[in-house]
Amino acid sequence: MRDRTGVTVEAGEPEDGLRPGEVALPFDPANEPGASVAFIGRIRSPWARGGPCPKNLREAREQARHAVLEVDRRYRAGLDGLHPGAHLLVLYWMDAARRDLIVQRPRHLDRLVGTFALRSPVRPNPVAVAVVTLQAMDPAAGTLTVDAIDCFDGTPLLDIKPWLPSVDVPGGACEANAQEKQGA
């Protein structure tokens, strides 16, 4: 049995997947007005579905196991201009996660928190954002090897963008040391 994030359920997990005090929306955000995202590829990660997976990118980096972004052939021309060493924002679709929990009680926290104050994959729009370092790439094959990722193997890829310290760090939170390159 899978729980709300697609991980095998531990003993003691309630059947509906709700922990005490959690609030589920009375509708599925998948059916609400919005827009359609295209899957532009897949993420090949060391983490098979149903097994253990780092719960965030910090844990994934500690494991020091790389991942590969596979970009579909039709979108590969969009990779031109990326180079190893670049820092990237990777957006992906956490397709194993339920989307209807609006108040959650994370296991590591044991108190109730609104979904938008959490990085949980369980959210109305399960779009994850990961900051990674590009280690190698083969543009013809559409593959980008990155330092770490915190999602299951096969997770759909939505977007790749350059990570820029001038915009991706809050004013004053740290001094950007400028991997930023002209034009990105």
Which one among 9, 48, 109, 141 touches a copy of itself, defined by CB under 8 A? Answer: 109
**According to the binding rule CB under 8 A, does residue 141 interact with a copy of itself?**
no
What residues contact 103, with CB distance under 8 A and at least 6 apart? 21, 22, 23, 112, 113, 114, 115
**According to the binding rule CB under 8 A, does residue 73 interact with a copy of itself?**
no
**According to the binding rule CB under 8 A, does residue 8 interact with a copy of itself?**
no
**According to the binding rule CB under 8 A, does residue 108 interact with a copy of itself?**
yes
**According to the binding rule CB under 8 A, does residue 138 interact with a copy of itself?**
no
Task: Collapse the DSSP code of 168 into the 3-class scheme (helix H, G, I; strand E, B; otherwise coil) and give the result.
Answer: helix
**According to the binding rule CB under 8 A, does residue 33 interact with a copy of itself?**
yes
**According to the binding rule CB under 8 A, does residue 23 interact with a copy of itself?**
yes
CA distance 130 to 138: 21
Beta strand pairing call for 101-104 and 41-44: unpaired
The distance of closest approach from Cβ of residue 11 to a copy of itself in the complex, given in angstroms and rounded to an integer, is 24
